[in-house]
Structure 1
Amino acid sequence: MSKNRKPTRVRRLSAEAVTAGHHIIGPAGAEPTKVVGTDIENDDFGTPAVVVATLDSGDTLRIATGSQVQIAVDDAEAGAGSIPAQDGTPEAVIAHAVSVHPESTQLQGIAERLSNGVNVKSGSNLQDVHDLALSLLVDFADATNAQRVCDLLTPLPFDGNFGRWKWIEGALALASYLAYDDGDPARADAYSASLRTADDAETDPLKAKLAGAVRQRQLNAPNLYDPEISRAAAAGNPAAEKDWRVVRLTALFYLRSHGGSETLTTEELTRRIHNELLAIRAL
């Protein structure tokens, strides 16, 4: 913190979401110290295990992945993070979610595109809302705001337009995982049930049977983009690797929301989602 700006509150952040510019509160409540860089160390099995935060003092903090730390927030950030008076409207939810992460030009760009309101008939608007929720979880480990943004889409019904539905479906799959991870399996199941309404939309018995068989094959042998991820990693292209891993992550959310399959259990999918989030944040 600068000498002229005192921390007014503290918020908790996932270890993997700590980035340069954050003011982290050290062990035993030590004074907030600015982070100037982070790195992630893997364990002997190649799984991200420890976040190493380098401080402006030259010291380092080693933080276990999956744990949370405290970040000091100053007056300006606290003001920006307050919820607008029209709390509950899509615009207010989006504005609040983005204001919590003022350092992100990506989130600011999405908010700007949605500044005139969310048109639920617009596929591009639905995609922006979905992408905002996904980025909040993936890039900032902000599950609370990711859930709130998801819920701008989760009440929308399937209307036969699969181009629009895929973004609503993605939000339902993400919301289902977030609810499960938050210890609310009943709510997670409710999101999953809403997602599967499109599966039962076909009224012709023969077409419905054929569609069900195709869907089961997709669940049993899903495309998880292993070749694309391997090629990007081998080429030393972390941006492309991250993009493909995010696509894989959304596929894992979808699979989990369907209760797994004959080849992938919900427990295995949950494990893979956790590991995928760690791998993405390590890039």
Structure 2
Amino acid sequence: MCRTIDVTDLVDQQDQLYNNRKRKGLINKIDKLIDNVVESQFVLYTPHFAMSFAQVLYTHKKCVEAAYIQEGGMIYRNTIITHLPILKRIWCFVVDNLYRHTNRVWSAYGWYMPGKLYKQKDLDSYAISNVFFKYLPSTNHIIKWPHINIPLTVKDNANVFVFDGFTKNGLIEQGFYLDKCKELIKMFAQSYNYIKFHPAQSKEECNTIKLYFDMQGREYTILDNSIPFEIILASTSGLSVIGFGSSLLYFARDLGHTVHCMDRWLQGSPLYIQYKNAFGLDDF
């Protein structure tokens, strides 16, 4: 039996963990939740430790070790830090110990930092392939997505267009992105298509993209965000998945679908190049 507890409210407050006046109060709330619902020692499975909420979970007295579990599909090479220069180490020590006065939250430059996972000698990760955590100093374990009878019929061998929340997240200029979406649809749209919008996309942006399909005389079905697209990928076969630098394209590739990733079309965006270089995104 698996018990699920919604901690969205606490996660949404995690910026308070870097506030000297509010940190203690939020840590106490998180600790109280764990003390009330977790009856024994536990292992923490987390996508990464760049978020302070995961750090507080790891440093709780009942947590005995941590492991990584794949959440997205894109490989952020620069977030896996295996060596810190001496000046960075001194800076982290000063901030964590002399300014914040806590060992529950640390200066996180990335998903992994050496010396922070002090409760264990070995580190494990879990992913659908050996690619995603290839830069993490862990023993990787392959897991398989289950095949589920979903309340949605997606035709085998269909074309699925995956769009992104890049513009709302400040990763690309909206006009530039929409122009490339228009080109994408013109090149790949068939007589019937499926569309997967990102939750961060505005209604205006989604309507513009739908208009591009209409202009080409192409029919489409919009995939409801209430059904994870990863489950659709694991439960169907032979799809052609089309888009730009979305994590879902990487999942689709690893699950054996045909993928048309036109990420190179975005190289003309200064914002996108800055984002890609900052995180060390591997080419598709």
Determine which structure has the larger helix proportion and give its number: 1
TM range (shorter): under 0.3
Q: Which has the larger radius of gyration?
A: 2
TM-score, normalization by structure 1: 0.27
Larger RCO: 1 or 2 (CA < 8 Å, sep 6+) = 2
